[in-house]
Structure 1
């Protein structure tokens, strides 16, 4: 949905409604107090909108409420005590807002059926309620990115079903000093614990040997940026499921472990790059007299060789199989904030984020699963990224297929962040003559053309399975800090059926028009088969746009005139 305006006040007349689902829209204004009249309401979902104001005290009248999800808005003020007295609540999720005040000390007593508590990315203060241990069904607790202070409740270790505990980025331990981090010892009874994050606090003391007795299912342990001293216990190697361990910026004596092996993706020789250009270049390139630049291009590639060597080694992060949750991506992007939105495509939105204790810059592509074809697009991208790896393709870090705070499917792809954005932002934005503030030099255009050609040559001829991109255009070409180009977005990609068969090697049996207007090959519109030649055509149009400063969808191209015809007439 794409609803605008405020939450309708007329909902108060729907006395029998059990579920109100208005998530992922553009709703503004405040939450109507009249929603408190929906006496039969069990599920209230309002996340990922632009709602403001405070939480109405009248919501405390929803005595049948089980799921409350109003995260990722701009809601401020305190949480009404009347709302926290609804004993039937199972999921209480208010993350990524501007809520403040303290959490009532008796929360675990007033919400005995609570299973998930998400209050992260807000402005809460005060201590963590000791009474949480009384809510024995708790599986998820997230208090991260707030201003909570005081000591950690030792009795949380009695929550045997707890599998996610995140308390990072607070001021815990700032008073009521912890003695030898016995809190970790108290958690050894949480046999299902998978995520434990206590980073960025004031926690002090010595790591106990009992850390080795934490859950065998623990995948993330974050203790970085505290005041922990002494050595790392030897028993930590018993945490066999651990994939992420953060203990940086403490006063620890590290284990003498052997260095991790890092695979290196070597740069191809200059001659191979030239062959890539020659093999991918079609007759359409002659329209812009591309052959005139071959001698200059040779010199450019030679001058770039040394500068690229220092970027050819793949980082250890890229070689790891990262596992990220919905909550982690939510925090990384500040609740998928509009301030972090860097792009919107056919099937989803892309957000800039800072991930984990290592503060890694990422780009998160969140699929809009209500859009027809989004699931198929996600599957296509996952299948493609599993089989490709090249210096001129966007580097994928991981994917996330989960559920959000209100039980809906959530799918996202996480990529390395490209500081210089898409090529589209460096070219004319539309057909009305507007140009970006920054312009590309001739050398930069040639370098980008070379990078894209190298990526296509790899996809078509040198990958494990040949792939047709089918949507090559400026917005799908991203530029790193050194202005090197990387091809991305494989939502429409197709694998060739059989690389050994001549016919199948050049086309698939997928018919119909796929791609973007202006860049898609004409034969696709006439029922032609998808083929590598279609990518070459799109690449030719891309070159024409780069060197003529004219978009293929410019308003001047009417009555049969196209960018191709325009260039042909003036050659």
Structure 2
């Protein structure tokens, strides 16, 4: 916008168009200029304006009523901003409007009746807001309307029959609302409609049999996820321009019309999740006729009642087919070899049928496959080695069949696999090292319920990214390999029901993310390792029916008798009282006394010698200073100022990745090993910077946790000019801060992918684990004092790490000397506005409950997308009171609209794009992100908000401690995982029901 200055006439400014005769501004076109802030009311003074295009910026606030003064206005596009409030009623004075596009904002309230005067509208787009109420019948009076887009609001009630008068309507979109009732028959008489989307409502009734005759221009028809019943209209093929057709998730019955063969332009067909078919031969005859649809790319007819045999006619389907899913039906016999002709398939779903026989080797020809679902069938024989040719494979599900023989080592060629499930088959032999060492596996490796033998190969240590390993119910033997300790991402480890022997290897102490361990029904022996009690994430431990001996620990998970299972180990003793074990025999009293003396004398003697040496070599240093100032020996990587200078290109601005109160952070690449680090350089001229440096080093000196930002080194030296220089070197977090993800800047270099609900939940749980460690598991409790999104960093796996301990308080002296509590434990107003607990502002003492308050505010911010300092909170209102007043009725109104964006590739074909010129220069681009918000997810959002509210209560006594928060948040995550798993795997769950 550099042209906007006094030296250039305003008619020549970027985005400004003037009338040649009057030199008055006619058009303001500022699309995608990265503009922010509210629209000034003075815009209403440009009364000669005929067009305003502010699309795709970051404007906020309400649309000013002064827009109503622009009575010459023909075109108003404010879409893809962050406008809030209600639609201005004064828009009714803009009677010349042809285009009104305010989609993708945060508007609330109802569609005002005043807008009924805009009778010349050609385009009315109000989608992707939070509008409520019913669809006004007066829209049917807009006889020139070509585009009507009201999708993804909270509109309810029925579709007005008056809309049937819109004889010029081409683009008709009401998806993702709460509409009910039947579709008025008059709608289906609007022959000009080419895009029709009513997906995800509560509409019911049957579709008219003459649909194809009345909508001859129809190209896209989405009516999935409703309650429609009856048959698929046989007239559909008469809509010869149809390209995308979706009837999924309804209650449609009967056969698929065979005259679909005439729909040669069909690209996607979704008829999944209905009641189609009769479970008999002939149900799949429609496949042979679909061969005429030579451009077909997506075909889904899973979760129906289709029976019969899958014939070789499948080979005649379009070679452009990329997605084919026929799972959870009643299809039987074997897979025809003609399936090998579909060489462009990326996803093939056959699970949950009655298919049998051996797998054809031609499956190895489908080298573009990313996903292959064969689960819950009756396949037998060996797994063909040709599957090793599927090098693009990401997910392979083959569980619940009768496969036999060895696991082919060729599967090790599938170097992109994230999931491999071969469980519940009759596989035998040893586990190939090529498969167990497949380092790409990161979600699941499940070989359980087979007849595998031999030792677990040492190559299991290659699974450094794996989350779940299940080898249970086999015949494996030997020792648990120590290399398993390198699988640091493991959360679920199941080795039960085998013949493993020896001790639990100490290397497993590195698996700090483990949540569930089952080693039961083996031949393990020795003492229960102490490190199991130190695994803070562990929720369930089963070591029953082994040969363990000695005392059961009583700390960590062992303090909760319900979380552990130790039955069948007759030599165990001690533990918590609820275990009802016998007491362990006491040690020899004389030996015990000698050991106790040694434990006391040796540390005291060592400490005295250390202090004397310190005073001898550094007589000018006080003991207090020596203890308070961190040294390079505390970390393993000493580093010099010169190396830091080189690694950051002389602390170049191009390497600057952030700045704060006491310094700046630079990205650096160490010359010694190429490691990428973050270098925090303290501004020692800033008051408090040195104290912040010492606080942070002392706080992080002896603590280690996967969710805390790790210091790799410090540098305390002089720069090239002889000035004092202090720096802290951290692990580099490639995904930046949580603040950057929640509130991305408009410039491209800061654009980041929006966080989904589950990602935010995982991050919130990571932060809670960090706080639990600081508050309850450090040798002395640590209060962070400045918990906020910019101090939470995200690594390449989106794991959260809490950093910036410059204001942290260590409470050890306060606990020992109450008289010093105030001086040591009060930080006054230190922290960040919006996150500081109220008691600190009144001179209260620092406590762990202050961090709980900040965590509550953080939760509210994460799931609303609004900072606690957002300007929407005014007149004494804050984010806590705002949400408290909104719940529970309007939770969908406050949740961040980006939170439920679907990421599954199989949903991508729901996206629709249209581009049409309106009055010469106006272009409309509508994109459907495929948002699917279920009532269960809304309930989960409600639960998160309740946790945030309870933890950000004004009174510290009302805030519940962080360990309770963790239990609640993990429970919510379990529900979300079940919902997502249910959606992805519904076809398989349903197949069990059908088989039973």
Q: CA deviation at 1:9?
A: 1.9
Matched with 2:317 is 214
Q: CA deviation at 1:556?
A: 5.2
SS in 2 for 1:125: strand
Matched with 1:82 is 186
Q: Distance in 1 between matches of 2:637 and 2:271?
A: 51
Q: Distance in 2 between matches of 1:214 and 1:250?
A: 21
Q: Distance in 1 between matches of 2:306 and 2:292?
A: 21
Q: Distance in 1 between matches of 2:795 and 2:169?
A: 46
Q: Distance in 1 between matches of 2:268 and 2:197?
A: 14
Q: Distance in 2 between matches of 1:193 and 1:233?
A: 20
Q: Residue by residue, what CA displacement relative to the aligned partner does 1:326-345 show, whole Å, maximum 9, x if unpaired?
A: xxxxxxxxxxxxxxxxxx93
TM-score, reference length from structure 2? 0.34
Q: Distance in 2 between matches of 1:213 and 1:444?
A: 65
Q: CA deviation at 1:441?
A: 3.8
2:200 to 74, 96, 101: 96
Q: Residue by residue, what CA displacement relative to the aligned partner does 1:243-284 show, whole Å, maximum 9, x if unpaired?
A: 01000011113333423444515446999x996999769685
Matched with 1:47 is 151
Q: Distance in 1 between matches of 2:226 and 2:706?
A: 54
Matched with 1:15 is 119
SS in 2 for 1:205: strand
Matched with 2:833 is 553
Matched with 2:253 is 149
Q: CA deviation at 1:163?
A: 0.3
Whether the aligned pair in 2 keeps the contact of 1:36 and 1:58 (CA below 8 Å) is yes
Matched with 2:799 is 486
CA gap of 1:204–1:299, structure 2 versus 1, over 3 A, is closer
Matched with 1:332 is none
Q: Distance in 2 between matches of 1:417 and 1:556?
A: 25
Matched with 1:422 is 764
Q: Distance in 1 between matches of 2:194 and 2:806?
A: 53
Whether the aligned pair in 1 keeps the contact of 2:699 and 2:805 (CA below 8 Å) is no
Q: Residue by residue, what CA displacement relative to the aligned partner does 1:115-153 show, whole Å, maximum 9, x if unpaired?
A: 000001111111111110110000000000111111111
1:200 to 284, 303, 307: 303
Matched with 1:287 is 695
CA gap of 1:36–1:238, structure 2 versus 1, over 3 A, is same
Note if 1:116 corresponds to 2:220: yes
Whether the aligned pair in 2 keeps the contact of 1:143 and 1:168 (CA below 8 Å) is yes
Note if 1:105 corresponds to 2:209: yes
Q: Distance in 2 between matches of 1:18 and 1:55?
A: 20
Q: Distance in 1 between matches of 2:150 and 2:183?
A: 16
Matched with 1:376 is 748
2:266 to 153, 162, 171: 162
Matched with 2:172 is 68
SS in 2 for 1:26: coil
Q: CA deviation at 1:198?
A: 0.5
2:343 to 206, 220, 240: 240
Q: CA deviation at 1:3?
A: 1.7
Q: Distance in 2 between matches of 1:264 and 1:238?
A: 31
CA gap of 1:414–1:239, structure 2 versus 1, over 3 A, is farther
Q: CA deviation at 1:420?
A: 4.1
Q: Distance in 2 between matches of 1:121 and 1:196?
A: 17
Whether the aligned pair in 2 keeps the contact of 1:166 and 1:197 (CA below 8 Å) is yes
Q: Distance in 1 between matches of 2:149 and 2:809?
A: 45
2:803 to 519, 539, 553: 539
Whether the aligned pair in 2 keeps the contact of 1:423 and 1:478 (CA below 8 Å) is no
Q: Distance in 2 between matches of 1:246 and 1:555?
A: 49
Q: CA deviation at 1:423?
A: 4.6
Aligned residues: 378
SS in 1 for 2:799: strand
Whether the aligned pair in 1 keeps the contact of 2:222 and 2:247 (CA below 8 Å) is yes
Q: Distance in 2 between matches of 1:251 and 1:277?
A: 64
Q: CA deviation at 1:13?
A: 2.1
Q: CA deviation at 1:43?
A: 0.6
Q: Distance in 2 between matches of 1:115 and 1:300?
A: 50
Note if 1:57 corresponds to 2:161: yes
- The range that moved more, 150-159 or 253-262, is 253-262
Q: CA deviation at 1:544?
A: 4.1
Query: Structure 2 unaligned runs (5+)?
Result: 1-104, 361-383, 388-410, 418-437, 441-461, 465-485, 489-506, 513-634, 640-676, 681-689, 709-740, 779-788, 812-824, 848-996
Matched with 1:457 is none
Matched with 2:289 is 186
CA gap of 1:18–1:180, structure 2 versus 1, over 3 A, is closer
* RMSD between aligned residues: 4.5
Whether the aligned pair in 2 keeps the contact of 1:40 and 1:64 (CA below 8 Å) is yes
Q: Residue by residue, what CA displacement relative to the aligned partner does 1:23-45 show, whole Å, maximum 9, x if unpaired?
A: 11111000000111101111100
Q: Distance in 2 between matches of 1:277 and 1:170?
A: 65
Q: CA deviation at 1:157?
A: 2.0
Matched with 1:227 is 330
Q: Distance in 2 between matches of 1:414 and 1:485?
A: 12
SS in 2 for 1:6: coil
CA gap of 1:420–1:112, structure 2 versus 1, over 3 A, is same
SS in 2 for 1:4: coil
Q: Distance in 1 between matches of 2:755 and 2:319?
A: 28
Whether the aligned pair in 2 keeps the contact of 1:67 and 1:89 (CA below 8 Å) is yes
Matched with 1:6 is 110
Matched with 1:264 is 439
Q: CA deviation at 1:485?
A: 7.1
Whether the aligned pair in 2 keeps the contact of 1:418 and 1:478 (CA below 8 Å) is no
SS in 2 for 1:23: coil
Whether the aligned pair in 2 keeps the contact of 1:422 and 1:478 (CA below 8 Å) is no
CA gap of 1:113–1:153, structure 2 versus 1, over 3 A, is same
Whether the aligned pair in 2 keeps the contact of 1:541 and 1:552 (CA below 8 Å) is no
Q: CA deviation at 1:477?
A: 5.0
Q: Distance in 2 between matches of 1:298 and 1:73?
A: 44
Q: CA deviation at 1:540?
A: 1.6
SS in 2 for 1:109: helix
2:772 to 431, 440, 443: 440
CA gap of 1:297–1:381, structure 2 versus 1, over 3 A, is closer
Matched with 1:368 is none
Whether the aligned pair in 2 keeps the contact of 1:17 and 1:38 (CA below 8 Å) is yes
1:345 to 742, 745, 757: 742
Q: CA deviation at 1:552?
A: 3.2
Q: CA deviation at 1:179?
A: 0.4
Q: How does 1:401-412 map to 2 (within 5 A)?
A: none
CA gap of 1:380–1:264, structure 2 versus 1, over 3 A, is farther
Larger RCO: 1 or 2 (CA < 8 Å, sep 6+)? 1
CA gap of 1:178–1:546, structure 2 versus 1, over 3 A, is farther
Whether the aligned pair in 2 keeps the contact of 1:70 and 1:94 (CA below 8 Å) is yes
CA gap of 1:74–1:178, structure 2 versus 1, over 3 A, is farther
Whether the aligned pair in 1 keeps the contact of 2:766 and 2:800 (CA below 8 Å) is no
Q: CA deviation at 1:18?
A: 0.6
Q: Distance in 2 between matches of 1:120 and 1:96?
A: 6
TM-score, reference length from structure 1? 0.57
Matched with 1:409 is none
Query: Structure 1 unaligned runs (5+)?
Result: 302-343, 348-371, 383-411, 428-437, 447-470, 489-537
Whether the aligned pair in 2 keeps the contact of 1:180 and 1:208 (CA below 8 Å) is no
